[in-house]
Amino acid sequence: MTKAPLGRIGVIGLGMVGSHFARHLMRTNGQLTVFDLNRSRMKGVVRAGAVAARSAREVAARSETLVLSLPSPDAVRGAMLGPQGALAGIKRGAIIIDASTIDPESCIAMHKAAAARGAHYLDAPISGGEPGGGGTDGAAAGTISFMVGGDKPAYERAKAVLHGIGKHSFYLGPAGSGSTVKLISNHIAGLNNLVMIEGFVLGAAAGFSPEALMRVFAGTDAKSYMMTDYFAPRYRRNDFDPGFSVDLMHKDHALAGDLGRKHKVPLLFNQLALEFYQLMRAGGDGRKDIIAGLHYLADLAGVDIRGLHPSVRKRSTRRRKK
Ligand code: NAD
């Protein structure tokens, strides 16, 4: 991460990702204004010295640069538009860095609405960029990648902020380009997760634990970033909390499906993934991490995969020794 004069900064949306952004920005910039609809989400960063605003509009009025990390297109519109929205308070020349994963059309609309107020909107969704830095781990470590769409001069100015909270940034073209590439990235990542889970459940049914298979697959064609850098660390610490939630992955597959329809590209596997994650949501697992699909599919198949986890095996070995 580079230290740079970043101007006054505001963060809107202090969830799994935005809270890490806020912590990095407090460190690099020394001051920050924050807003989240859920006030409890602001507590940690306010304790660290950030100012809590009462609306997105107030954050914008106090900032030269705004960073958004919101869960959906509707949330972005809600935070940007209307009398209490960021655009109502935005300064001329301000830059809005929208790190939310949303659809390209909404990005184009936000870019236009910001330009009408003399401000610059960049769609800048994120993904893990470094080994071990998938999703929120990368946001915590400051090693994520940004995929950026919008006006190039605004991107050049925004780099100081982007590289205050992440490590890599890719400028991809006009408004909506960053979101388009991000949706393709998550189409691939969401499917990688499912195909890996399916393989592990099949392995468990045949008597091989995920741990044993991961050791082998690290040296076979089955290896993927999703396996080695996202699934493995979470699985090993038996952590099935998000991270990246099933709800968010479902939203991203739905948006990728819209993109496929727009470009008349059939996305057969995207549809399967969408319905798999929807099944999990229907069963009450929407707020779990996407790797919880492992348990979901194992239960469907009647396979005891939980019993193969190293922590469970260690416990039962200890019991046997007593
Ligand atoms: P999250 O649900 O944990 O956080 C979103 C926050 O936004 C919540 O605290 C919510 O209260 C707040 N919010 C919602 N509407 C608001 C509004 N109108 N005004 C102010 N605050 C509002 O989500 P997250 O996991 O932090 O993800 C944020 C974005 O980043 C999503 O678009 C997601 O797809 C994307 N993303 C997440 C990850 C990850 O690993 N979690 C990785 C890559 C991309």
For ligand 1, atom 7, name the residue with the nearest CA: 13
Is 167 among the catalytic positions?
Answer: no
Q: Which of residues 104 and 311 earns the better pLDDT score?
A: 104
- 56: CA distance to ligand 1 center in Å? 15
Q: Return the CATH number at 138.
A: 3.40.50.720
Residue among 19, 20, 33, 37 whose CB has most ligand 1 atoms within 8 A, to mutate: 37
pLDDT in tens, 148-174: 999 999 999 999 999 999 999 999 999
Three-point CA angle 146, 151, 156, nearest 5°: 60
Q: Which member of 91, 182, 251, 288 is catalytic?
A: 182
| CB-defined site of ligand 1, < 6 Å | 12-18, 35-38, 41, 56, 69-71, 75, 78-79, 100-101, 126-127, 135-136, 243-244, 248
Query: Rounded mean pLDDT of 274-290?
Result: 98
Same domain, 165 and 186: no
pLDDT in tens, 208-229: 999 999 999 999 999 999 999 9
Last residue of a domain, one of 174, 205, 236: 174
| The residue count for the chain | 322
Structure tokens at 132: 């071990």
Query: What pLDDT was estimated at residue 2?
Result: 42
Residue position matching structure tokens 């690099």: 28
In a 10 Å sphere around its CB, with 0-12 CB exposed, 13-18 middle and 19+ buried, how is residue 215 labelled?
A: exposed
Residue among 100, 247, 248, 253 whose CB has most ligand 1 atoms within 8 A, to mutate: 248
Residue position matching structure tokens 């459940």: 201
pLDDT in tens, 230-268: 999 999 999 999 999 999 999 999 999 999 999 999 999
User: Distance (Å, rounded) from C-alpha 5 to C-alpha 55?
Assistant: 25
**What does the DSSP 8-state code read for residue 95?**
E
For ligand 1, atom 3, name the residue with the nearest CA: 15
Query: Rounded mean pLDDT of 79-93?
Result: 98
Last residue of a domain, one of 122, 144, 174: 174
Looking at the domain assignment, is residue 204 inside a domain?
A: yes
Question: Which atom of ligand 1 is nearest to 19's Cα?
Answer: 26
Query: What pLDDT was estimated at residue 3?
Result: 43
Same domain, 145 and 196: no
Average pLDDT value for the chain? 95
Residue among 69, 110, 186 whose CB has most ligand 1 atoms within 8 A, to mutate: 69
User: Count of domains in the chain?
Assistant: 2
For ligand 1, atom 12, name the residue with the nearest CA: 13
Q: Among 176, 141, 146, which residue's Cα sits nearest to residue 69?
A: 146
What range does the domain containing 280 cover? 181-321
Last residue of a domain, one of 174, 194, 223: 174
Number of separate helices (H) and strands (E) present in the chain: 16, 9
Same domain, 252 and 133: no
User: Distance (Å, rounded) from C-alpha 136 to C-alpha 167?
Assistant: 14
Same domain, 147 and 23: yes
